[in-house]
C-alpha cells in the first residue's frame, strides 16, 4: 500500500515537473522572440541561473535537428564509413559550437565570480545560437528539394548575422560592461579566437557555427 502511495506521488511529481518544464520553455521562447536582447539581459542578471535547464533543452532540439540532417542528408553516399563520419560530424556541430564559444567567453571574462560563471556562459551561448537553430530547422526542406537552397541560404546568412549581434550583447551583459568600446573590444577578441579555432578545426574536418 505504501509503495502504491509512493509510486502515485512520484507520478504526480514527474507530471508536475514536465508541466512546469513545458510552461517554462513556452515562456522562454515567447519572451525570446518578442525581445531577444532583453531575454539575454534577464539571463545574465539571474542570480540562480533559472534558464539553464531550458537552454539544455534548446541544445537537445538542435542536436535532434542535426540528427535528421545526418539521417537523411547523406543517403546518396555509397560508402557506409563516409556516412558514419558525416553523421558524427553533423551531430557534434551543436556541442562543439556551444562548447568552444562558452569556453572562450568564460576564459576572456575580466572576473570569474557569481556574476560570470560557467553555467551562465553556457546558457547565453546556447541562446545566442537560437537563430542558427531556426535556420537549421528551415534548411530541412532541402532534404525534399535541392532547389530550396535558394530560399534557405539567405535565411541562414541572415540568422548568422542575428546570432553574431546577440553574441555581442551576451558578452556585454555577462561581463557587466557599461562602456560600449570595452564591450565591442571584448566581443571582437572572442570572435577572433572563435573563428581562429574554427579555421584550425575545419582543416581536421570538424565544423562549428
Show me where the domains of the chain are located: 35-203
Q: What is the pLDDT of residues 49-68, one digit of tens each?
A: 778 888 999 999 999 999 88
How much is the pTM? Answer: 0.82
Query: Which letter, b or e, does each residue of 110-130 get, where b requires 16 or more Cβ atoms within 10 Å of its Cβ?
Result: eeeeeebeeebbbbbbbbbbb
What's the pLDDT score for residue 16? Answer: 40
Amino acid at each position: 500500500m505504501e509503495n502504491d502511495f509512493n509510486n502515485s506521488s512520484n507520478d504526480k511529481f514527474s507530471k508536475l515537473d514536465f508541466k512546469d518544464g513545458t510552461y517554462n520553455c513556452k515562456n522562454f521562447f515567447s519572451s525570446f522572440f518578442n525581445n531577444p536582447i532583453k531575454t539575454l539581459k534577464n539571463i545574465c542578471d539571474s542570480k540562480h541561473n533559472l534558464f539553464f535547464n531550458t537552454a539544455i533543452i534548446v541544445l537537445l532540439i538542435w542536436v535532434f535537428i542535426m540528427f535528421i540532417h545526418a539521417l537523411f542528408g547523406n543517403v546518396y553516399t555509397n560508402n557506409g564509413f563516409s556516412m558514419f563520419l558525416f553523421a558524427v560530424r553533423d551531430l557534434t556541430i551543436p556541442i562543439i559550437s556551444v562548447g568552444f564559444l562558452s569556453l572562450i567567453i568564460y576564459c576572456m571574462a575580466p572576473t570569474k565570480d557569481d556574476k560570470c560563471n560557467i553555467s551562465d556562459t553556457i546558457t547565453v551561448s546556447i541562446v545566442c545560437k537560437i537563430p542558427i537553430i531556426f535556420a537549421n530547422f528551415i534548411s530541412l526542406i532541402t532534404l525534399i528539394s535541392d532547389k530550396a537552397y535558394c530560399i534557405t541560404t539567405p535565411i541562414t546568412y541572415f540568422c548568422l548575422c542575428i546570432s553574431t549581434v546577440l553574441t555581442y550583447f551576451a558578452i556585454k551583459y555577462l561581463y557587466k560592461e557599461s562602456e560600449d568600446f570595452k564591450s565591442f573590444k571584448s566581443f571582437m577578441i572572442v570572435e577572433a579566437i572563435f573563428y581562429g579555432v574554427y579555421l584550425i578545426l575545419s582543416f581536421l574536418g570538424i565544423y562549428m557555427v
